[in-house]
Amino acid sequence: MITRHAFRTAALGAAALSAALLLTACGGAPTDTGAHPAHGATATSTAAAHDAQDVAFAQGMIPHHQQALEMAGLAAGRAGSARVKDLAARIEKAQAPEIRTMSGWLKSWGEQPPMTGMDHSAHSGMSGMTGMMSGDDMADLEKKKGATFDSAFLSLMIRHHQGAVEMARTEKDKGRYAPAQKLADAVVQGQSAEIAEMKKLLDSGE
CA 7 centroid distance within chain: 74
| Structural element, H or E, at residue 134 | none
pLDDT of residue 127: 39
Instruction: Check if the beta carbon of residue 78 is closer than 8 Å to that of residue 149.
Output: yes
What is the domain class of 51-204 according to CATH? mainly alpha
What's the full length of the chain, in residues?
A: 206
pLDDT of residue 130: 83
**Spatial CA neighbour of 57 closest among 128, 155, 150, 159:** 128
Strand partners, 79: 146
Question: Is the pTM higher than 0.85?
Answer: no
- Taking the domains of the chain in order of start, what are their residue ranges? 1-48, 51-204
pLDDT tens over the chain, length 206 residues: 544 444 444 444 444 444 444 334 444 433 333 333 333 334 444 445 999 999 999 999 999 999 999 999 999 999 999 999 999 999 999 999 999 999 999 999 999 898 765 444 444 344 346 899 999 999 999 999 999 999 999 999 999 999 999 999 999 999 999 999 999 999 999 999 999 999 999 998 76
* 146-199 tens-digit pLDDT: 999 999 999 999 999 999 999 999 999 999 999 999 999 999 999 999 999 999
CA distance 127 to 3: 93
- Which distant-in-sequence residues (6+ apart) come within 8 Å of 87 by Cβ? 75, 194, 197, 198, 201
CA distance 59 to 86: 28
CA distance 15 to 147: 96
Number of helices (H), then strands (E), belonging to the chain: the values are 6, 0
- Specify the amino acid at residue 138: M
Instruction: Check if the beta carbon of residue 145 is closer than 8 Å to that of residue 80.
Output: yes
